[in-house]
């Protein structure tokens, strides 16, 4: 099917989704029987005072959600069109319409004025969680977060929210993680999120990934290994080891490092880049390296206060790390990992490899920012030592 012949129709759908009258988009009747998603539904939501469209992809045994806005919506519509669906129904009050799509991309548009449906913008997070409160889940029960009845314990609600927030982030990068991917969790700790990641990719998405957790604490690793065996997670393994001394020679498709302290994050990012990871999710913690380095006369009113300087040094550290990742071909977003009510360490670096080679412009941007504050992050020295920049 040709996209050009359907461009106007996609414009009409996109315009409808951005209309205040929009209540629902139903895309159905896949042309290929092999398409696992038999129906796609988009509805409007308000999340943190921002209007988005939630796209829900329905398969026989799972539902995958994407919360999108702006140009992301337009791109997703194009992706869906290329999958080949014969019927698109747009519910938008008096401006409702249906699209019937032919084999060669030709289409027929039928206006279907309808009574405007009441729109519920309330984003009930519990209803949209990937793991549900009230639905028994063996993983959450084994992790001690949930009773046998399926009810999440009151004192475990914070960890439950954090896990679901993490799964939302995984959903946003899942298309970049291949079948049978090798995933490494540096500094896995008690591994709540390692287990959640394994569950999501293997049992929700069916991607059969292999996950390895690495941490320094032997007792924690032994506990996680026992729990993995009890759950029957054959491809979730745990080992003792130091991130700084890691010397894996196999290709890694995805690396996560959550709350790795200070320069441990730099080592994790370096090993991810060196191993050719397509996806990196990193939540830095306790960033002290730049605190003793940075100096800038213009920023003296900030840097003279220890508490402000500490926060500024952390932000600068992540900005420099992000610039280096962009220089090496990653698309980078620094995003909120969890609410401040759940953790103060709530910024995540999300990086997805989109091109090979080194961008001279992005690298100059790193050097310019580093010189401005007399700072250099450990990641840069590691990359230089390997000849990667």
Q: How far apart are CA 210 and CA 199, in angstroms?
A: 11
What does the block give as tokens for 379?
A: 């990641």
Domains of the chain (ranges plus CATH)? 4-111 (no CATH), 131-385 (3.40.50.150)
Considering only CA atoms, which of 151, 142, 233 is closest in space to residue 192?
142
Q: Are 321 and 381 in contact (CB under 8 A)?
A: no
Q: How far apart are CA 10 and CA 138, in angstroms?
A: 42
pLDDT tens for the chain, residues 1 to 389: 445 577 888 999 999 999 988 999 999 999 887 788 889 999 998 876 788 999 989 887 677 888 898 889 999 999 999 888 999 999 998 889 999 988 777 888 998 776 555 555 544 444 467 888 888 889 999 999 999 989 999 889 889 988 998 998 898 899 999 999 999 998 888 889 999 999 999 988 889 999 999 888 899 999 999 999 999 999 999 998 776 666 656 689 999 998 777 888 999 899 999 999 999 999 988 888 899 899 999 999 999 999 999 999 999 999 999 999 999 999 999 887 764 444 455 789 999 999 999 999 999 999 999 999 999 999 999 999 999 99
The two beta strands, 210-215 and 236-240, are parallel
Give residue-wise pLDDT tens across range 271-281.
Answer: 999 999 999 99
pTM for the full model?
0.66
Q: How far apart are CA 327 and CA 359, in angstroms?
A: 5
Q: How far apart are CA 173 and CA 179, in angstroms?
A: 13
Give residue-wise pLDDT tens across range 192-215.
Answer: 999 999 999 998 888 999 999 988
Q: Give whole-number Cα distances, 321 to 215, 223, 261, in Å.
A: 22, 33, 15
235-259 as b/e, with b when 16 or more CB fall inside 10 Å? ebebeebebeebeeeeebbbbbbbb
Q: What are phi and psi of 387, to 5 degrees?
A: 75, 25
């Amino acid at each position: 099917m040709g996209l050009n012949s359907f461009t106007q129709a996609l414009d009409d759908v996109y315009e409808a989704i951005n209309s205040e009258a929009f209540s629902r988009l139903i895309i159905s009747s896949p042309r290929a029987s092999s398409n696992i998603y038999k129906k796609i539904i988009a509805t409007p939501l308000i999340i943190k005072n921002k209007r988005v469209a939630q796209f829900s992809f329905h398969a026989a045994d799972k539902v995958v959600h994407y919360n999108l806005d702006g140009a992301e919506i337009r791109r997703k519509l194009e992706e869906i069109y290329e999958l080949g669906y014969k019927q698109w129904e747009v519910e938008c009050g008096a401006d409702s319409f249906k699209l019937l799509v032919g084999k060669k991309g030709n289409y027929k548009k039928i206006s279907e004025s309808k009574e405007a449906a009441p729109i519920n913008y309330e984003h009930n997070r519990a209803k949209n969680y990937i793991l549900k409160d009230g639905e028994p889940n063996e993983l959450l029960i084994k992790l001690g977060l949930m009773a046998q009845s399926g009810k999440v314990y009151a004192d475990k609600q914070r960890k439950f929210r954090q896990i679901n927030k993490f799964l939302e982030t995984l959903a946003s990068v899942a298309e970049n993680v291949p079948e049978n991917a090798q995933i490494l969790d540096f500094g896995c700790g008690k591994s709540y999120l390692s287990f959640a990641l394994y569950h999501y990719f293997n049992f929700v998405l069916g991607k059969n990934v292999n996950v390895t957790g690495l941490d320094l604490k032997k007792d924690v690793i032994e506990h996680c290994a026992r729990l993995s065996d009890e759950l029957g997670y054959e491809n979730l393994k745990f080992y003792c080891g130091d991130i700084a001394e890691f010397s894996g020679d196999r290709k890694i498709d995805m690396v996560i490092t959550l709350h790795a302290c200070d320069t441990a994050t730099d080592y994790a990012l370096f090993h991810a880049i060196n191993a050719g990871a397509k996806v990196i999710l990193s939540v830095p913690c306790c960033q002290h390296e730049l605190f003793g380095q940075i100096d800038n006369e213009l920023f003296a009113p900030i840097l003279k206060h220890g508490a402000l300087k500490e926060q500024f040094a952390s932000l600068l550290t992540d900005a420099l790390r992000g610039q280096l990742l962009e220089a090496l071909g990653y698309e980078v977003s620094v995003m909120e990992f969890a609410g401040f009510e759940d953790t103060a360490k709530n910024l995540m670096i999300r990086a997805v490899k989109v091109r090979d080679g080194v961008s001279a412009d992005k690298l100059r941007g790193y050097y310019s920012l580093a010189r401005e504050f007399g700072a250099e992050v450990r990641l840069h020295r590691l990359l230089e030592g390997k000849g990667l920049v």
